[in-house]
């Protein structure tokens, strides 16, 4: 019960965005407190889990919110306009007219103090429409490809799509929007690592997981993993809390 309580507290902290994506086998309660040297999106991840979308949707619906007007040109000097503030939903005003509206803003992902220069993290960019997004280096000479893009459908939330990029901390990038007929694009950027959740192996399929076998991920969990970690016998589906435990 003590282990369960500790894990539930840690999951609650993660859901608030206080801690980017990588599945990790965990054997003891102290594991979540260990420092990691950057976390990029894990191999085999096909979709981000609900924890990331729900967190970003919270900011889209409740703020904090900021509005910036994008630059009409790429490779502009200086640091503004930018969308550097995490846990914030931005409305980006685009320039131009008709179906040729475009705009560029800068984004400088934060770096953990313990990490070395060049450490990469997975960043999720959620948007509220189908405006094209291209991520480039600050000087515009290279384009960074997304490692994952998929549609988003969360009840009561305007966000419709997310793209994930592995980006270096403390490095400036250009976010190039358009061309599009939309005059604005809403966007929220979150470090995926901060929003990972523990899932526990449910080998016997009774809906209750084994506290000793878990995965920490921001992606949709693998088959036979659940949020509950209270099974006392994960090899017998007839034994679970309230029925033999």
Q: What is the pLDDT of residues 65-110, one digit of tens each?
A: 999 999 999 999 999 999 999 899 999 999 999 999 999 999 999 8
Interatomic CA distance for residues 17 and 55, integer angstroms: 7
Classify residue 234 by its DSSP letter.
T
pLDDT at 146: 97
> CATH 2.60.120: which residues of the chain?
50-194
Q: 0.85 cut: is pTM over it?
A: no
pLDDT at 37: 54
pLDDT tens digits, one per residue of 98-124: 999 999 999 999 877 777 777 899 999
Q: Any idea which architecture 50-194 has in CATH?
A: Sandwich (2.60)
Residue segments in the chain with a per-residue pLDDT below the cut of 70: 1-38
pLDDT at 29: 32
Interatomic CA distance for residues 190 and 117, integer angstroms: 20
Considering only the C-alpha atoms of the chain, give the largest distance between any 2 of them, rounded to a whole number of Å. 67
CA distance between the termini of the chain: 12
Residue 168: strand, helix, or coil: strand
């Amino acid at each position: 019960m003590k282990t369960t309580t500790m894990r539930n507290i840690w999951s609650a902290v993660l859901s608030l965005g206080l801690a980017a994506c990588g599945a990790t086998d965990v054997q003891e309660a102290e594991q979540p407190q260990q420092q990691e040297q950057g976390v990029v999106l894990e191999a085999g991840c096909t979709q981000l889990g609900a924890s990331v979308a729900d967190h970003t949707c919270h900011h889209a619906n409740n703020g904090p919110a900021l509005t910036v007007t994008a630059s009409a040109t790429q490779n502009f000097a200086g640091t503004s306009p930018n969308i550097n503030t995490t846990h914030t939903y931005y409305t980006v005003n685009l320039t131009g007219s008709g179906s040729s509206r475009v705009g560029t803003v800068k984004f400088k992902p934060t770096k953990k103090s313990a990490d070395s220069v060049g450490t990469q993290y997975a960043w999720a960019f959620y948007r509220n429409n189908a405006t094209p997004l291209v991520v480039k280096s600050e000087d515009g000479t290279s384009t960074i490809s997304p490692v994952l893009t998929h549609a988003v459908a969360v009840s009561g939330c305007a966000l419709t799509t997310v793209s994930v990029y592995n980006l270096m901390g403390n490095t400036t990038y250009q976010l190039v929007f358009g061309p599009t007929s939309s005059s604005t694009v809403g966007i929220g950027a979150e470090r995926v690592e901060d929003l990972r959740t523990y899932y526990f192996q449910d080998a016997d399929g009774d809906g209750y997981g084994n506290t000793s076998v878990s995965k920490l991920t921001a992606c949709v969990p693998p088959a036979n993993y659940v949020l509950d970690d209270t099974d006392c016998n994960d090899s017998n589906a007839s034994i679970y809390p309230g029925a033999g435990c």
